[in-house]
Structure 1
C-alpha cells in the first residue's frame, strides 16, 4: 500500500509538471493568466498568422477557459477593430493638407586663372567662397491638389521667390494642371532639378537660351506606360526674382516640351534607357528687345561683383524670338551620355534677323556601379542612390567603411552669339568633374573648366576655373 501511494504521488507530480511547463530554478515566476498557449503546428501546416508586435499592446489575452476556435475568433475580432481604427486614422489624415519642410544648402569655393587677353575682355575675376543656394520651402498635398513654396536666401536683397505654385492631378483631358511661378517646360538640363545635376552648373546654352521660372499656367501628362510625356505652358515672360510681373507690355510666351522613351529596361528599373525629346517656345520680346548672354560653367552670381558674362549680345531691338531645342540621353548601367542643341531665331526690328545657336555633350561614369535614375512621369533625371552610404565605424579588429558613390564626368559646350552683325562672341568650354555621393542627400563636387573665348575687339582668350561644392538637401 505504501508503494502504491508513492507511485500515485509521482504520477501526480509528473502530470503537474507537464501542465505547468518546465522552468529552471533561476527563472522568474510567470503568472498563469499572462501566458497564451497556441496549439502545436505540424511540419505540414503553414505558419500561423499572428498579430504584429505593433498591435500586441492593444490585444486582450484570450481567456484560457476558451476553446481554440473561440480564442481564434477573439483574436480576429481584435484585429478587425485595430484595422478599422487604423483606417479611420488614415482617413482623418487625408482630410487635412500635408506639410513637409524642404531645404537645400550649397557652399562653393571658386578660383579663376585668366590670361591677359581674357582679363582685357571681361575684367579680373575675383576668387572666393560663396553660398550658391540656401533654400527653405514647403511642399504638400490634399487629395488631388498639391503645392510647393520655396525661397532662396543666398541671393542679394530680400529672399527670392522660386517655386510658388499650386497644382491639380488627374484633371480630365489635361492630366496635371499647375498655376503659379515655376520652370517653363523646356530643355532636359533645365527641367531636371539642380539637386540632381552632374556638374556644378548647367551648360552654356542653358544659361543663354533656356527660360527659367516665370508666372503662368501649365498642363502636362504621360501616356499609360509612361514611355512619353508632354507639357505646355502659357507664360508671362518678364517675372522678376520675386515672382512679380507688372506692366502694360503684355510680353507672353507659349512653351512646350515632348519626350519619348524608345528603350527602357523595366526589370532593371531604368538602369538601361534611351531618352529623346524636343522643346519649342514662341516669345514676345521684353520691352521690344532681346538679349542673350552666358557666364562660364563655374561661376558665382550671388557676389558683388558676380562672375562677368563671357559672351553677351547686348540689347537687340526685336518683335519676338523663338526657341528650338533637341535633347537625347542614354543610360547604359554606370555609363551615361547626354546631349542638347538649341537654336534661337530673332525677329529683329530694323535689320537682318540673327540666329544664335549652341550645343553640349557630356558623359559620366559611376566608378562604384550606380546609374542615373530617371523620372518617367516628367521625362527628367532623379536623385542618385548610392549602393552603399559613406560611413566610418570602428570595430573590434579594424575600421569598417562605406565609400558612397563616386562618379567621373566630362562635358564640352559650345555657344555662338555672332550672327547678322551681332557680335556677342563665341565660347567653347571643356569641363571635368568628380562627384562623391556620401548618401542620397549629401554630395561633394569638384569641377575644373577650361574656357576658350573669342570675342571682339580683343579676340581669342582663355581662363582656367576650379570649383568645389559641398551640397546637402532634403
Structure 2
C-alpha cells in the first residue's frame, strides 16, 4: 500500500512539474483516496509549496523534476556546480533516488498529519452522542431520556374517606415520569464507567436522585467487576431498562419487592455473561445515619419514589443466574432464571426502649412493603403492610423485622414476533413476632409484533433490549415503524399471618408504537379485578401512620380502571 501511494504521488508530481508553467506549485492530498491535486477541495490537506528546477544530464534529454523548496545555500551552490560538470548515469540515478526518498518522507509526514486529524472522532448512535480515540483507549458518551406520561381514571370508586383522612380516589393528570441525563465511557479499554442522574424520579417530596454511579473493570469479555451505585441483580423485569418494558409500569410484585425498596444500592458486584448464560452477584448496602433522600424510610401514604419508600435496610447479599437453554438464534429462544437475596433491616430504639419514629412518616427504621395499581401519574399505594417494626422493646406484643429473604423464578419465550414472559416472587419476613410470614406475587403476559419484529436480548443483563423497527417511520409513507400489542395478568398477596397488607389482581392491555429505535409511544388500559384489604386496620396503630391503614382499607372491593399513555425519547 505504501509503495502504491509513493508511486501515485511521484507520478502526479512529475506530471504536474511537466505541465505547469508556474515557478511555485501548491499540492494537496485527499485524506481518503491519498490522491494528489494541484487545487484545494473538500477533504484535501495542503502538503506544501514546491518549485520547478530544470536539470539536464549528458545521456538524457532535458526533463523537469520537482524538488522541495526548502534548500540550504550550500545545497544550491552544489547544484550550480553540478550543472557545469559532466554527470554520468550513476550520478543521475543517485539524484533520482534522493528525490524519491525526499518525496517518500513527505508522504510519511502527511500520513501522520492525517492520523492526528482522525485520532478523535464522534458519532450519534444507540449509545447517544459518542466520542472515542482511534486507538480505542478512551471514549465518552452523553445519554439521556425523558418520559412524559398521562393518566385518566375512567372508573375510580373506592370507599369515601372519613374524618380527616386523605381522599382515597386516585387523581388523573400528567407528569414527567422520568428525566435522566448521564455520561458513560471507557478508559484504557478494560475500564468503563457510568454516572446517571434522574431529575424526576417520582411525584413525591423527593423527586430526584442518582441512579447509576459506578466504575467497572472488564477482566475479560465475559467477566467484569463493578464498584459503586448500581442496580441489584434480581428479577428479569427489573434487569431490563424502563425504556424497554412492554408495559408502561413494572408489575406489582416487582415494584413492591424490588423497585420500591431502592434497587440502586452501593457496593461491589461481579458479573459473568456469555451469549447463552449470565450470572451476577453483589454485596450492597444503603448509606447509614439519619433519614435522608439517600436512605429509604417508611412511606405511609405513598406518592414518594423508591429512594424514599420502604425502610432502613443494611447490608445485603444478592444474586441472579439466567440463561437460554434452548436457542435457535436471537429471535427464537427460551430464557429461564432464578434470583435470591438476603437483606438486613435496621430498627432504631431510644434508651427507654421506645421506637424512634413510631407513628411518624420516616426516621425510625424498620421496613414496609406496599403496591400501587400499575398507574404512572398518581402512583399512590392501595396496598400497604405498614411498618413491620412496631412497639417498644418492653411490649410483649411488639414486632421487629430484622431481615427479609427474597426469591424469584423467571421465564421468557420468544419465537419471532411472539413473546411470552412471566415471573414468581416471594419475600420471607424474619424477626421478633414473625413466624414464616411471607409476601408473594406473580405476573404473566404475551405480546406480538404486528410488523414482524422480534424482542431483542441484552446479553450482559440477560433481559430485554432496544427494539429496532424493520421500517422506521417516514412522513412519505415508506415506513410506519414497529407496532406491538400485549395482554397480561398481575397478582400480589401481602396478607400473611400477622401482616395485613392486602391482596389484589389486575389485567393490562398494551399497544406500543416504535417509530424509531430511540422513540416509543405506549398506551395501556389497566383494570383491577379484585382488591381485598378488609383486614387492614383503619387506626394509626400496628405500624400504620398518617392514615395509611385507613386509605388501604378504603380500597377494599374498590373498582379502578385507567387509560395510561407515555412517550419515551432517549439518546
What TM-score do you get using the length of structure 1 for normalisation? 0.76
Cα distance between partner residues in 2 of 1:65 and 1:214: 72
Check whether the contact 2:486–2:509 (CA below 8 A) recurs between aligned residues. yes
Cα distance between partner residues in 2 of 1:331 and 1:359: 19
| Structure 2 residue 302 is matched with structure 1 residue 277 | no
Cα distance between partner residues in 1 of 2:293 and 2:480: 41
Check whether the contact 1:145–1:166 (CA below 8 A) recurs between aligned residues. no
Paired residue for 1:386?
Answer: 469
Change (3 A) 1:388 1:254: same
Cα distance between partner residues in 2 of 1:276 and 1:198: 18
Pairing partner for 1:130 from 169, 175, 187: 175
1:81-230 correspondence runs (5 A): 82=111, 85-86=114-115, 90=119, 93=133, 97-117=138-158, 123-143=168-188, 144-154=190-200, 155=202, 160-171=208-219, 175-211=223-259, 212-223=263-274, 226-230=275-279
Deviation per CA, 1:215-242, whole angstroms, max 9, x where unpaired?
A: 111111124xx21111111111468885
Check whether the contact 2:222–2:273 (CA below 8 A) recurs between aligned residues. no
Instruction: Give 1:199 shift.
Output: 0.8
Change (3 A) 1:76 1:356: farther
Secondary structure of 2:111's counterpart equals helix
Check whether the contact 1:105–1:473 (CA below 8 A) recurs between aligned residues. yes
Pairing partner for 2:385 from 306, 310, 313: 313
| Structure 2 residue 319 is matched with structure 1 residue 256 | yes
Secondary structure of 1:207's counterpart equals helix
Cα distance between partner residues in 2 of 1:434 and 1:372: 15
Deviation per CA, 1:200-219, whole angstroms, max 9, x where unpaired?
A: 10001111111511111111
Change (3 A) 1:291 1:238: farther
Paired residue for 1:420?
Answer: 497
Deviation per CA, 1:254-275, whole angstroms, max 9, x where unpaired?
A: 0101111112334xxx011111
Deviation per CA, 1:287-345, whole angstroms, max 9, x where unpaired?
A: 27332111011232xxxxx4321211111121211000001101100111111001111
Instruction: Give 1:377 shift.
Output: 2.3
Change (3 A) 1:456 1:124: same
Cα distance between partner residues in 2 of 1:59 and 1:183: 52
Cα distance between partner residues in 1 of 2:465 and 2:112: 35
Instruction: Give 1:460 shift.
Output: 2.1
Pairing partner for 2:511 from 430, 434, 437: 434
Check whether the contact 1:259–1:278 (CA below 8 A) recurs between aligned residues. yes
Instruction: Give 1:402 shift.
Output: 1.9
| Structure 2 residue 558 is matched with structure 1 residue 461 | yes
Secondary structure of 2:475's counterpart equals strand
Check whether the contact 1:107–1:471 (CA below 8 A) recurs between aligned residues. yes
- Aligned pair count reads 410
Check whether the contact 1:165–1:180 (CA below 8 A) recurs between aligned residues. yes
Cα distance between partner residues in 1 of 2:43 and 2:433: 81
Give runs of ≥4 in structure 1 deviating > 4 Å: 31-34, 49-56, 58-61, 63-66, 74-81, 94-97, 118-122, 155-159, 237-246
Secondary structure of 2:470's counterpart equals coil
Cα distance between partner residues in 2 of 1:172 and 1:432: 42
Instruction: Give 1:165 shift.
Output: 2.3
Instruction: Structure 1: give runs of 5+ residues left out of the alignment.
Output: 1-30, 35-48, 301-305, 394-399
Please tell me whether Structure 1 or Structure 2 has the larger radius of gyration of its CA atoms.
Answer: 2
Instruction: Give 1:65 shift.
Output: 8.7
Instruction: Structure 2: give runs of 5+ residues left out of the alignment.
Output: 1-17, 26-31, 53-63, 67-98, 121-131, 298-311, 348-364, 389-399, 536-552
Cα distance between partner residues in 1 of 2:214 and 2:35: 39
Cα distance between partner residues in 1 of 2:521 and 2:221: 43
Which stretch has the larger CA shift, 412-421 or 97-106?
97-106
Check whether the contact 1:318–1:347 (CA below 8 A) recurs between aligned residues. yes
Pairing partner for 1:231 from 280, 297, 304: 280
